[in-house]
A and B are shown apart, each in its own frame.
Chain A
Amino acid sequence: MTTPDTSTRSVIVEKEFPHPPEKVWRALTESSLIEQWLMRNDFQPVEGHSFQLRAEPVPNWNGVIDCQVLAVEPGRTLSYTWGTMGMESVVMFTLTPTIAGTHVRLEQSGFRPDQEANYKGAKYGWQKFMGGLERVVAGLE
């Protein structure tokens, strides 16, 4: 079952696959396999490695997502930055073995303008802003 949880601060999608974690891990980290379910890429499972994911360009979007590997824990967790359209976020995959296979949890969070990715002082301000945004959006509904 897939359960989406979408707020203004993070996106969480969870799903159980009837396959062992080692196999799911390969699909998440081997470039040719990633291409089959996500996008064309030059991914390498190496912390600090910068890579791009490339989708078909559409009007107003060149189809490129700039990424950098943040954490690689084989068979358990993988995270990388995800920058496109002037916004940067972090995606994190967490694998948990189950009786039937593997539970995969994807969380995409930390959405912020990419101009701020490099200075931490402003990051707090943005997170605070996103917190306030939920309040503002709740007021709209």
Chain B
Amino acid sequence: MPSAADNLFKALADPTRRAIYERLTRDGEQTVHALTERAGVSQPMVSKHLSALKRARLVRNRRKGRETHYQARPEALAPLVDWIGHYGAFWQKKFDLLGEVLERMDK
């Protein structure tokens, strides 16, 4: 399993960070100011959370005048979806092995 998924899970483990990310997926691009107004934490904290989201490639930013605008990158969630999907194949394989064990138990 890739370490990209690990970074992603860490970035999404914090409820405030997740709320910021959700807001970006729902309402589109936002400035740090606009995000701070609704986040319930200080602007330095919001900036810190945005940096963590950026490290996990969940958001991208661009400067426009004096403001930094942030945008969600939903495609960055792919490792999470892959990771869960991977368990479908995992359990199918394990069930096949379970069938073989059950056959052997009779003997």
User: What is A's interface to B at a CB cutoff of 8 Å?
Assistant: 2, 4-6, 8-9, 11, 13, 15, 17, 19, 23-24, 26-27, 33, 36-38, 58, 60-61, 85-87, 104, 106, 108, 111, 113, 115-116, 122, 125-126, 129, 132-133, 136-137, 139-140
CB neighbours (8 Å) of A4 from chain B are 88-89, 91-92
Q: Which of A13, A17, A136, A140 is B99 in contact with, Cβ under 8 Å?
A: A17
Report whether over half of chain B's contact residues are helix, strand or loop; otherwise say mixed: helix
- How far does the Cβ of A35 sit from chain B's closest Cβ, in whole Å? 10
Say whether B88 contacts A60, CB under 8 Å.
no
User: What is B's interface to A at a CB cutoff of 8 Å?
Assistant: 1-3, 5-6, 9-10, 12-13, 15, 18-19, 22, 25-26, 74-75, 77-78, 80-81, 83-85, 87-89, 91-92, 94-102, 104-105
- How far does the Cβ of A70 sit from chain B's closest Cβ, in whole Å? 18
Alpha-carbon separation in the docked complex, A58 to B86 (Å): 16
Alpha-carbon separation in the docked complex, A94 to B58 (Å): 37
Alpha-carbon separation in the docked complex, A86 to B12 (Å): 11
Say whether A36 contacts B92, CB under 8 Å.
no
